[in-house]
Chains A and B, each alone.
Chain A
Amino acid sequence: MEGILAGVFALMDRLLPFAFAEAGFMKRALLALLLTAPASAAMGVPLVQHRMAFFSDAIGHSAFTGVALGVLLGVSPSWTMAAFGVLVAVAIVLVKGRTDLSTDTVVGVFFSTVVALGIAVISREKGLTRNLQAFLYGDPLAVTDAELAGMALLLLLVAAYLSLLYNRILLLGIDEGFARTKGVPVRAVEISFAVAVALVVTAAIRTVGILLVTALLVIPAASARNVARGAASALWVSVGIALFSGVAGIVASWYLDTATGATVVLAAAGCFALTALLRVARPRG
């Protein structure tokens, strides 16, 4: 594990002979973004199609409770955050399937509940507030080796998951009844997608923070929509924009001395503005 990481860092030294990439923590941050941003952007394409931006925001905010639980139990908050995020994701899907309430109402109820629960726990344990800061705004500069390994594993899992189920996820996003007649196991796909989103969101929180994590999924996919016509270009443009924003954001944050996560999101927002202009300039038929 450490050997692999040392090799990667040596490679980065050779490829990026710049001042910003000299420090070990900067390499770590860059690596964290190069691993989480493409996974988030790839999941973002079907997420936007399914109109689940609010869902992803709710999962992000469940990290308040997830982190608090980790500190209370004496486990690394990264793992409890992921576990609790998955729990909330599955709960939302199950409740949504058993009620006539609209999806955004169900998500709204869970959103408020998990934030309230998190704040209640944190306010009881005075020492927790400091811990939370890193999760609120993201802190890619403090990513540990174990977390990097987890992010790499997650990227592979997301690639495998999307390779297997992408067509069925898109069919489900077009029309549920139609997808069923095409043999899509609707409930299973729905739950697996929610779980995958939860894992990606909670991993990306380490880099851009609870407040901005949805941006990492939604903005690259939304930008891709501005310029892509087909399903293939939509995914690759989204991933490309995420990689560019990750690198551009981290470099800019080094020179401007700004928060890394926020700068990355601003770079992505810049890409959105640019693609929106391109779209206006070249209206599609």
Chain B
Amino acid sequence: MTEEGHLHTLSIRNLTVRKGGVEILSGVDADIRCGEVTALVGPNGAGKTTLLQAILGQVPYTGQIRFCRAREHGQGEPRIGYVPQRLSLDRDAPLTVLDFFALSAQRRPVFLGPSRKAREAARKSLEQAGVGHLLRRPLGRLSGGELQRVLFALALRDEPDILLLDEPVSGVDVAGEELFCDFLSQVQRNSLFSLLLVSHDLSVVTRHADQVICLNRRIVCQGATTEVLTPENLAAMYGSDAHLFRHTPADGHGHLHEPGE
């Protein structure tokens, strides 16, 4: 079922999504393979979030999204991890990081306290992410970088088959991006899941992604990062009048600047 060397593949065939009579995505074909980082890039309104929602089963679609796995990788429905772009938490929300982990780990209601098992799992994955000290901190009071680490730790706790990251480095400082690199290398080391990364930041994409899918309502192009991110393809995706800056990767900035941005 799967291609050689990959334990599993999320294969998307002829995916079309309509919202209110408008075609948001049409005829999308893509493969997201285990052990690889696949980046999803495209201008605002290209349907990147819609594609994530389709994979998560949150919007109706036509076409096929299939999870093909090798026999040694286990059976059943794939576990899909999702790290949202932001959480709409108030700073006052009475919820500690431990509570947040417990919400999705135990049947016992959190107002009766976290279970021992949930606490241990939370402690372990937070320590792995280097933020064991945040266990009892209120979730709403974390800095952007801390919250990001907590979300990554939670995503890894549940051992997903596919991990979807929505703009993981937007609004995060340089340290946050370094953390993200660590996280990705950790992911690639155990290489048991595939990672789909939505990003506006081309420097992040060129440095970390193995595969790139360029999307603008349909697939503009896809393939190995080095082959795909050419000026011609970027112009086709963002429009030829877009100002495209690609600084050298060394200076850490490779943002796309769209007109009016």
* Residues of chain A having any CB pair with chain B under 8 Å: 45, 49, 162-164, 166-168, 170-171, 174-175, 177-178, 180-183, 224-226, 228-236, 284-285
Contacts and interface: CB of A to CB of B under 8 A. Distances in A.
B111 A284 contact: no
B185 interface: no
A162 B98 CA distance: 19
Interface stretch (B37-45, B76-84, B189-197): B76-84
Q: Among B82, B106, B141, which residue has the most Cβ atoms of chain A within 10 A? A: B82
Contact of B56 (A180, A228, A235): A180
Which label, helix, strand, loop or mixed, suits the secondary structure of the A interface? helix
Interface of B: 53, 56-58, 80-82, 84, 87-89, 92-96, 98-100, 102-104, 106-107, 109-113, 136-138, 141
Which label, helix, strand, loop or mixed, suits the secondary structure of the B interface? loop
A224 B223 CA distance: 53
A230 B104 contact: no
A37 B112 CA distance: 20
Contacts of A181: 56, 80-82
A168 B103 CA distance: 7
Given A164-B109, A174-B87, A284-B141, 11 more contacts: A171-B104, A174-B88, A174-B100, A178-B82, A181-B56, A229-B94, A231-B96, A232-B111, A234-B111, A236-B111, A285-B137
B112 A232 contact: yes
A42 to B, nearest CB: 8
Given A178-B82, A181-B81, A49 B111 contact: no
Given A224-B94, A230-B99, A231-B111, A177 B106 contact: no
Contact of A225 (B56, B92, B137): B92
B88 A175 contact: yes
A236 B87 CA distance: 25
18 contacts: A162-B109, A163-B109, A167-B103, A167-B107, A167-B110, A171-B104, A174-B88, A180-B56, A180-B57, A182-B104, A224-B94, A225-B93, A229-B136, A230-B136, A231-B99, A232-B113, A233-B94, A234-B95
A164 to B, nearest CB: 8
A235 B109 CA distance: 11
Nearest to B53: A177
Contacts of A226: 92
A170 B110 contact: yes
Contacts of B99: 230-232
A230 B96 contact: yes
A182 B84 CA distance: 12
The 6 A-B residue pairs with the shortest CB-CB distance in the complex, in nearest-first order? A234-B94, A166-B109, A235-B111, A181-B82, A231-B99, A231-B110
Contact of B95 (A163, A224, A231, A285): A231
Nearest to A182: B104
Nearest to B82: A181
Contacts of B92: 225-226
A163 B106 CA distance: 12
B134 to A, nearest CB: 12
Contact of B94 (A162, A177, A228): A228
Contacts of B104: 167, 171, 182-183
Contact of B102 (A167, A175, A180): A167
B197 to A, nearest CB: 16
A177 B95 contact: no
A166 B109 CA distance: 6
Contacts of B57: 180
A240 to B, nearest CB: 12
